[in-house]
Amino acid sequence: MAQLLKLENVYKTFEMGKQIQLKAVEDISLEMDEGEMLGIVGEPGCGKSTLGKLVSGVQPPTAGRILLGGKPLGEAPDPARRRFSPGVQMLLRESEIDLFSTRPVAETMAMVLEETEGCKGGALDAQVFRLLQMVQLDPVCARRQPARLSEIERVRAAVGYAMCRRPRLLVCDEPVTGMETTAQLLRLLERVQQQTGVACLLFDDDPDLLVESCDRIGVICRGRMVEFGPAARIAARPCHPYTQRLRQHSRSAADSGRLGKRVVDSGDVNNLVNPGPGCRFASRCPYADTRCRAEYPPQTEVAPGHWIACWKSPAAQG
């Protein structure tokens, strides 16, 4: 399959004052194919949202390159239109849909379609109907204002809004929080992907929620990608200690009673400020030693297409 997205050694650093740097994204490289469902998981505050903004063109990287279809992804010149960078759409969070809008959902879709595709009259109505069918939103619901819709109906409307512009890539940064709504959204995205071929980059803190829908999964710990590989393999054999911990304490694990109460580590900005040279998980890892704290581990392949960054992987130990 053709390559759609490529990140080459991407960094995003925020200067927080004299000698204080918040390293939200550090040295991330990845490739994504046309039509692929790629999941990125990590704790709250690990840099996932920043990565989503970089890929969407909402923010420029501090260093590195982001290529879409082989061309550098430019920052959209008009801040009001940054969610509408050509080829990439960022799915609105359910809470970001304008609940005070007096315009019914179908009218908003028609407005966007008229602007982007220039269609009018019957052709416009047919396009709106096609979109509503795709996102499984009842046309009766679509004649209502967003505030009068249920949560899942608003999620369907958000996907419809995003698909109006026929993106090649849909970026979904935890648009909903409830597990059931997230599961419904993932099923909807799979359907939309199958019908249109759009690729989806999905962010969540729960690997178990994404493994069913995604082809591959990347795991981020404090701004660094620490594991990457086929979703089915990471679900069956997570190799990095951070991924193992993430799975043990995920929402799915807590809800299923597998490990009781969910634990969320302090994912605050302090974790990303002036990190030391070593592994980002060293302060919490039960296997950490002196080398882990002193040197960042290289990426080592543990199976075809599956790599981790950990000094204790058999390949890293030579």
**Closest CB to ligand SF4 among residues 157, 279:** 279
**Closest CB to ligand SF4 among residues 253, 285:** 285
Q: Please, what is the minimum distance in Å from the beta carbon of residue 243 to ligand SF4? A: 9
* Polymer length of the chain: 318
Query: Does residue 292 bind ligand SF4 (CB under 6 A)?
Result: yes
**Closest CB to ligand SF4 among residues 168, 240:** 240
Query: Does residue 202 bind ligand SF4 (CB under 6 A)?
Result: no
Interacting positions 230-259 with ligand SF4 (CB under 6 A):
241
Query: Does residue 297 bind ligand SF4 (CB under 6 A)?
Result: yes
Q: Please, what is the minimum distance in Å from the beta carbon of residue 307 to ligand SF4? A: 13
**What are the beta bridge partners of residue 309?**
299
Query: Does residue 228 bind ligand SF4 (CB under 6 A)?
Result: no
Count of chain residues binding ligand SF4 (CB under 6 A): 12
Query: Does residue 288 bind ligand SF4 (CB under 6 A)?
Result: yes
**Closest CB to ligand SF4 among residues 159, 292:** 292
Q: Which residue has the tokens 């918040």?
A: 22
Binding mask 298-317 for ligand SF4 (x = CB under 6 A): ------------xxx-----
**Closest CB to ligand SF4 among residues 188, 292:** 292
Q: Please, what is the minimum distance in Å from the beta carbon of residue 283 to ligand SF4? A: 8
**Closest CB to ligand SF4 among residues 167, 238:** 238
**Closest CB to ligand SF4 among residues 58, 285:** 285
Q: Please, what is the minimum distance in Å from the beta carbon of residue 39 to ligand SF4? A: 20
Residues that bind ligand SF4 (CB under 6 A): 241, 279, 281-282, 285, 287-288, 292, 297, 310-312
